Structure 1
Amino acid sequence: MMLRLELGQLLDSLPERLALARSNRLPHHDFLEMLFADEVTRRDWASEQRRAKTAHQDPQTHLTAWNGSTAVTFDRELRVELTSLRFLADAYNVLIMGPAGAGKTFLANALGNIAVRRHHTVHTERADKLFKRLRGARLDGSYEDEMCKLHRVDLLILDLSRPGDYPDVVGG
């Protein structure tokens, strides 16, 4: 029956949850609430992973992973403003500039992951690859379709660096 309800993933954690419920003498309704909360968490995580993959985002790129040992610092107020994603609601663009190795790509991808977690559509691509794809689209007549796809995205992240430009930066 759990499979028909598409709750088959609950079967993996069911023995552990049953033991916990018995040891804590949980009422039936609390036990069911715990199981359903586990399933909601699992589905949210899986959905976030799928959206990040579709957006070409590294789901591990989060601002909490920022290496604080670098000499680069961010304006705290600006960081809070960017992570609020108000610029998306206000239809503003954001351009992140700085010297090589400053963390521009990392910051852009971390903002992309925040947007993915908040259910915005995101597309990340290196600019040279995008321009090559759009040139090809002009040749095969799919340019308008490609532009429509890009226009529908809530957050478009274009990385202007090219592989090999900055060999000391992971991911270029």
Structure 2
Amino acid sequence: MSGTRLAGPVSAELRAILRQLKLGRMLDTLPERLALAGQQHLPHADFLELVLADEVTRREANSAHLRARAAGLDATMRIDTWDATAAIRYDRQLWNELTSLRFLDAPHGAVVLGPVGVGKTHLATALGHIAVRRRRTVHMARADRLLKRLKAARLDNTVEAEMRRLAHIELLILDDFALQPLDAIETTDFYELIVERHRKTATLLTSNREPGEWLAMMADPLLAQSAVDRLVSTAHELVIEGESYRRRQRPAPAPTDADTTRTPGKEDQ
């Protein structure tokens, strides 16, 4: 490095300066970066670029983590944690299209359908994480809980403000929709939410039921038909089939005494 040696321990003075500049986390990787700089004789500018790029990456990852948590996304349900070897069948080409997030720009929606346990929530959450990393606004909630939240907002006259907030979220993910019947207020709120978001922002639903079955789960058939028609007419439909994905996540049984005790053979006698 132009005759200057950077490899070596980080001095107490440098540690203090980094902490004063709120760059203390650079100390996690700085020793190995110093060693690398010494080995490869990096110019000063290249070394500076390297350590600052580390800090940018760390801050971006931390920011994405905080935004994902605020969006209600499970941190364990990402694309890299999806078990691609599971006995699950779905349209991979459509899935790749969804992961591109082009449907957010149309804007279109998405409906992820399938029986219990096939991974609908995992895939929907994974899309949420991708959107968060691309700095799109995301909110995910179980459908029944979000509708109960809207119902509670009526009691303190904040329902209009909450509706406006939800209407502007770029990707709204409602998990387990129509798992339980919707009463008159919940049906009205669902209708209002879909109407406000239609062709403006993207809504993603996961459900164990087909869209045609949703109508029977809502109290007002006319509002139900209007909301479902708007939603489905602009939504990609990803159908997942196969064995329960959750079964692959069961812990392995602990070995019993019978498993660990070997019957002596002639060689043991």
What range is the shorter-chain TM-score in?
Answer: 0.7 to 0.9
Whole-angstrom CA distance in 1 between matches of 2:75 and 2:132: 9
Comparing 74-83 and 56-65, the one that deviates more: 56-65
Stretch of structure 1 that moved more, 83-92 or 62-71: 62-71
Bigger mean CA offset, 18-27 vs 75-84? 18-27
Alignment of 1:22-171 (within 5 A): 22-160=38-176, 169=246
What is the CA distance between 1:169 and its match in structure 2? 4.5
Does residue 36 of structure 2 align to residue 7 of structure 1? no
Q: Which consecutive unaligned segments of at least 5 residues does structure 2 have?
A: 1-16, 180-207, 209-244, 248-269
CA RMSD of superposed structures (Å): 2.1
Quote the sequence identity (%).
Answer: 51
Q: d(CA) in 1 for partners of 2:76 and 2:34?
A: 32
Q: Are the aligned partners of 2:88 and 2:118 in contact in 1 as well (CA < 8 Å)? A: yes
- Secondary structure of the equivalent of 2:112? coil
- The answer to whether the Cα contact below 8 Å between 2:118 and 2:246 also exists between their aligned partners in 1 is no
Q: Compared with structure 1, are the counterparts of its residues 152 and 4 closer, same or farther at alpha carbon in structure 2 (3 Å cutoff)?
A: farther
How many pairs are equivalent?
Answer: 167
Q: Is the CA contact (8 Å cut-off) linking 2:131 and 2:138 kept in structure 1?
A: yes
1:64-112 alpha-carbon deviations (Å, 9 max, x no partner): 3222343212212101111111111001111111111221111111111
Calculate the TM-score normalised by the size of structure 2.
0.57
Rg larger in structure: 2
| Superposed displacement of residue 57, structure 1 | 0.7
Q: State the distance in 1 between where 2:157 and 2:106 align.
A: 33
